């Protein structure tokens, strides 16, 4: 897979991130926070620096998990190419704010589990290793992650919402989610010919903004 | 005084205001309209389906338990009640049926067909409490007709005055009860999904037909109320959405425009009714909070509850109105049975088509399949049945969770399945008819409250043997249709799962002839408080294997007519004519 080379977050950014995570951790009374045990430079692509709710590293982790839930590459785009993480981030900064602390805690614990088991942050692991970690998570069997099964259900739904919702909400970039399943998007009307085609549709791809 | 301005309230408000009465309707939701809310944003699946913006969960959430010994937990999923002017008729599918003659007399029908047969032993063992409606199809037929003309329902007639399929030899529901005249216009055309379903059904010797639909079709149409609306464009954002084109028939699109100009009518939105005030057996006022949280008391002479079943029942109980112990009893909703298929060789594009662009068969509904059922061993025999149909509106964001159990729910294999088969997918609707039971009910939750401090509505709903046997049977029939149509991969649950809300949530204040075994009389008038009427599905003694909305509108016309014509005595519920 052609991944963008991880950027490096400066030490100062990292300190801020750690401080924020620490405060949330103290409030929730749970350990195992993202970044808090990692003395190494932190991977994150530049476009993940300006997220609204997630830290850049959390964004990178959500993106990496999303890329295993709905995998892809530039030729066959998946959740990463759809920018699903931007959908999730905007949702967590608004209508899904109630999930933010759940994300913060679980993402930290998942990353800590990856480092403990494989001595690397989750985002740097091989895809097959990531899959086996997520498989364990989805069964509630990833050591050190509390309520992992329920968190996996949550993030799975949010990632897929970011793949299949209109781009106005931040994901489904270039309509790659809809193109993958052969859905052209919203139209004010559909013709009889189109309804009885018994073949792939011949409508142009459209989004709400095109209406 | 009308509490809630939704589907059920629409005809009542219109007919009473037309008769010169002074009508105040208090609606908890906002006034969303075609121009301001549905014009462009209507086709946003995330807003209306996923995030269900029209549903007010914080204030109207439910709690649920499967048996009366358990502690109910908050129901996490959504349900059908839209908090908006026009209520759930704004976001409904638009599948519009008349109930059959037999649907109003299920108890008598079962006695006539099966007598005291030991085949019915499972019903007694499970506490089935089946009663006839206190009204007959013949009495209410003119009111069904009125709904078709005033709201706008299209279909092929299956039975006009006893003549079966009189218009075209192969169209219309041959099992429908006699109608006095044709529909005002025809239903939608068939799409690929419908054509394939038809093939399967015809191959089995069934008589498929396009379901009657509450959409204006084929050019503009003017209702009996003089409201002109445009035809559906098949945009396919229907169930869960407000119709941007005004084609979907609803209290909002068809009745409010005829009502709002009448001098006696006033609609107050954002007004949440918390209590009915009553003295000496009569209601005197309602207490409500306006959009700013300010509490008001509104006096009135006649009170019609036009909110959803859950809210009507909750409001009565919370106000201490349950003189005969019948309010909340005999709750009915449909158990969930799902049936899915992939047609590897045919691209159906199920996303293109309103959900109600739908063919269906009635051979297995009601007692239509009695010959088949009588051949079943006693421990598989069941009463009543289901409609089987082929919905569309398979939008990706609404359908991504539909996959066979052997396909994982994430990862490369999941993606491979979904990308290869979403357009080859058909899921059938199995609209089963559950029965009323002694222990299925609504009441006030003892520990969970809403934002206003009102107890939440607690749903106790158990799936019984009859529902499980019925689900098994109709699942197999649906599977046969799919196979005959060429489906290759078929999955789903042939069982029946209890749910707090199936979108058809009825009963809880059933009508009857016996004031000790029902909550209201035949005109939806509470036995114990004669100036309070319950509009909507809560009065249904049985639910039928048909979508209920047209019957809900019919009942509203029926009760409004009784008030306007003085068929009811507002001081004595037993003194009606």
Q: Mean of the pLDDT values across residues B189-200?
A: 97
Q: Mean of the pLDDT values across residues B59-79?
A: 87
Cβ within 8 Å, pair B191-A169: no
Domain extents in chain A: 8-185
Cβ within 8 Å, pair B415-A195: no
Q: Is the ipTM of this complex over 0.90?
A: yes
Q: What's the confidence (pLDDT) of residue B78?
A: 67
Cβ within 8 Å, pair B352-A71: no
Give CA–CA dist B289/B275, Å, rounded.
10
Q: Mean of the pLDDT values across residues B33-55?
A: 89
User: Which chain A positions have a beta carbon within 8 Å of B409's beta carbon?
Assistant: 156
User: Which chain B positions have a beta carbon within 8 Å of A195's beta carbon?
Assistant: 189, 191-192, 234, 349, 352-353
- pLDDT for A29 beyond 70: no
pLDDT in tens, B423-455: 999 999 999 999 999 999 999 999 999 888 899
Q: What is the DSSP letter of B118?
A: G
Cβ within 8 Å, pair A69-B410: yes
- pLDDT for A32 beyond 70: no
Spatial neighbors of A22 by CB under 8 A, at least 6 apart, are A33, A36
User: Which chain A positions have a beta carbon within 8 Å of B395's beta carbon?
Assistant: 183
Residue to substitute from B352, B354, B401, interface A, most A β-carbons within 10 A: B352
- Looking at chain B, the whole-number percentage of residues with pLDDT higher than 90 is 90
Residue pair A198/A208 in contact (Cβ under 8 Å)? The answer is no
Closest listed residue to residue B339, CA positions, set B470, B402, B428, B471: B428
- Mean pLDDT score of chain A: 84
User: Which chain A positions have a beta carbon within 8 Å of B343's beta carbon?
Assistant: none
Cβ within 8 Å, pair A72-B415: yes
Closest listed residue to residue A28, CA positions, set A144, A89, A106, A94: A106
Q: B222 forms bridges with which residues in the sheet?
A: B228
HEC string of B316-337? Answer: HHHCCCCCCCCCCECCEECCEE
**Which residue is closest to B46 within chain A, CA to CA?**
A165
Residue to substitute from A183, A200, A206, interface B, most B β-carbons within 10 A: A183
pLDDT in tens, B523-563: 999 999 999 999 999 999 999 999 999 999 999 999 999 99
- pLDDT for A13 beyond 60: no
- Looking at chain B, the whole-number percentage of residues with pLDDT higher than 70 is 99
**Which residue is closest to A172 within chain B, CA to CA?**
B397
Q: Are strands B336-342 and B489-497 parallel, antiparallel or unpaired?
A: antiparallel
| Reported confidence tier of residue B572, pLDDT bands at 50, 70, 90 | very high
- At B410, list the tokens: 């994430």
Cβ within 8 Å, pair B410-A72: no
Closest listed residue to residue B82, CA positions, set B329, B323, B252, B265: B252
- Mean pLDDT score of chain B: 95
pLDDT in tens, A82-118: 999 999 999 999 999 999 999 999 999 999 999 999 9
- pLDDT for B354 beyond 80: yes
B175 CB-side CA count, 13 A: 24
* Closest chain B C-alpha to A185 CA, distance in angstroms: 9
pLDDT in tens, A187-205: 999 999 999 999 999 999 9
pLDDT in tens, B10-41: 999 999 999 999 999 999 999 998 878 888 78
Cβ within 8 Å, pair A189-B234: yes
| Reported confidence tier of residue A43, pLDDT bands at 50, 70, 90 | low
Give CA–CA dist B375/A9, Å, rounded.
73
* Closest chain B C-alpha to A160 CA, distance in angstroms: 8
User: Which chain A positions have a beta carbon within 8 Å of B414's beta carbon?
Assistant: 70
């Amino acid at each position: 897979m052609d991944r963008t080379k991880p950027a490096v977050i400066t030490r100062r950014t990292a300190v801020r991130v750690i401080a924020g995570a620490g405060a949330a951790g103290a409030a929730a009374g749970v350990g195992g926070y993202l970044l808090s045990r990692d003395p190494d430079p932190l991977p994150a692509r530049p476009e993940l620096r300006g997220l609204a709710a997630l830290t850049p590293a959390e964004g990178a982790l959500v993106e990496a998990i999303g890329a295993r839930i709905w995998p892809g590459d530039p030729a066959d785009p998946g959740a990463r190419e759809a920018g699903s993480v931007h959908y999730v981030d905007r949702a967590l900064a608004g209508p899904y704010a109630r999930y933010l602390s759940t994300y913060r805690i679980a993402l930290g614990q998942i990353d800590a589990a990856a480092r403990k088991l494989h001595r690397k942050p989750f985002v740097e692991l091989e895809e097959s290793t990531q899959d086996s970690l997520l498989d364990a998570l989805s069964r509630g069997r990833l050591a050190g992650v509390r309520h992992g099964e329920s968190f996996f259900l949550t993030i799975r739904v949010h990632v897929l919402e970011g793949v299949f919702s209109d781009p106005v909400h931040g994901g489904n970039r270039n309509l790659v989610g809809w193109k993958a399943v052969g859905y052209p998007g919203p139209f004010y009307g559909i013709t009889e010919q189109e309804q009885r085609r018994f073949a792939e549709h011949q409508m142009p791809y459209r989004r709400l903004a095109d209406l | 005084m009308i509490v809630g301005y939704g589907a059920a309230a629409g005809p009542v408000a219109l007919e009473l205001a037309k008769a010169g009465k002074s009508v105040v309707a208090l609606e908890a939701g906002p006034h969303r309209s075609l121009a301001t809310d549905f014009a462009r944003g209507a086709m946003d699946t995330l807003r209306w389906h996923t995030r269900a913006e029209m549903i007010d969960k914080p204030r109207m959430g439910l709690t649920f338990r499967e048996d009366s010994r358990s502690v109910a937990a908050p129901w996490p999923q959504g349900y059908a009640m839209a908090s908006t002017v026009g209520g759930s008729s704004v976001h409904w599918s638009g599948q519009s049926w008349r109930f059959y003659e037999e649907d109003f007399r299920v108890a008598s029908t079962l006695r006539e067909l099966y007598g005291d047969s030991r085949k019915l032993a499972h019903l007694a063992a499970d506490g089935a409490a089946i009663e006839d409606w206190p009204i007959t199809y013949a009495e209410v037929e003119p009111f069904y007709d009125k709904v078709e003309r005033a709201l706008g329902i299209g279909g092929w007639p299956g039975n006009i005055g006893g003549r079966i399929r009189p218009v075209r030899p192969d169209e219309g529901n041959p099992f429908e009860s006699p109608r006095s005249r044709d529909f005002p216009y025809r239903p939608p055309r068939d799409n690929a999904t419908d054509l394939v379903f038809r093939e399967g059904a015809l191959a089995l010797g069934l008589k498929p037909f396009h379901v009657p639909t509450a959409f204006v079709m084929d050019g503009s149409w003017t209702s009996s109320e003089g409201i002109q609306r445009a035809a559906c464009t098949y945009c396919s954002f229907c169930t869960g959405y407000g119709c941007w084109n005004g084609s979907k028939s609803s209290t909002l699109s068809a009745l409010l425009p005829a009502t709002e100009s009448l001098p006696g009518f006033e609609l107050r939105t954002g007004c949440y009714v918390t209590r009915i005030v009553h003295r000496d057996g009569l209601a005197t006022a309602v207490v409500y909070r306006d959009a700013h949280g300010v509490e008001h008391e509104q006096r009135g002479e006649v009170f019609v509850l036009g909110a959803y079943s859950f809210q009507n029942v909750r409001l009565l109980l919370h106000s201490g109105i349950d003189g005969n112990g019948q309010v909340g009893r005999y709750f009915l909703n449909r158990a969930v049975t799902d049936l899915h298929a992939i047609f590897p060789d045919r691209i159906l594009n199920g996303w293109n088509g309103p959900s109600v662009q739908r063919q269906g068969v009635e051979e297995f509904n009601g007692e239509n399949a009695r010959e088949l059922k009588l051949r079943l061993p006693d421990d598989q025999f069941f009463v009543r049945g289901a409609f089987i149909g082929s919905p569309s509106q398979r939008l990706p964001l609404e359908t991504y969770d539909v996959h066979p159990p052997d396909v994982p729910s994430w990862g490369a294999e999941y993606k491979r399945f979904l990308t290869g088969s979403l357009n080859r997918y058909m899921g059938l609707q199995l609209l089963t008819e559950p029965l009323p039971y002694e222990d299925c009910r609504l009441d006030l939750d003892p520990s969970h409250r809403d934002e206003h401090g009102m107890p939440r509505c607690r749903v106790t709903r158990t799936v019984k043997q009859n529902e499980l046997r019925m689900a098994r049977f109709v699942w197999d029939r649906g599977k046969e249709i799919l196979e005959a149509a060429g489906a290759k991969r078929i999955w789903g649950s042939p069982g029946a799962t209890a749910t707090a809300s199936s979108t058809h949530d009825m009963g809880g204040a059933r009508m009857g002839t016996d004031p000790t075994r029902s909550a209201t009389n035949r005109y939806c008038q509470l036995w114990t408080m004669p100036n309070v009427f319950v509009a909507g599905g809560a009065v249904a003694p049985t639910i039928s294997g048909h979508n209920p909305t047209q019957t809900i509108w019919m009942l509203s016309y029926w009760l409004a007519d009784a008030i306007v014509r003085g068929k009811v005595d507002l001081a004595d519920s037993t003194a009606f004519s």
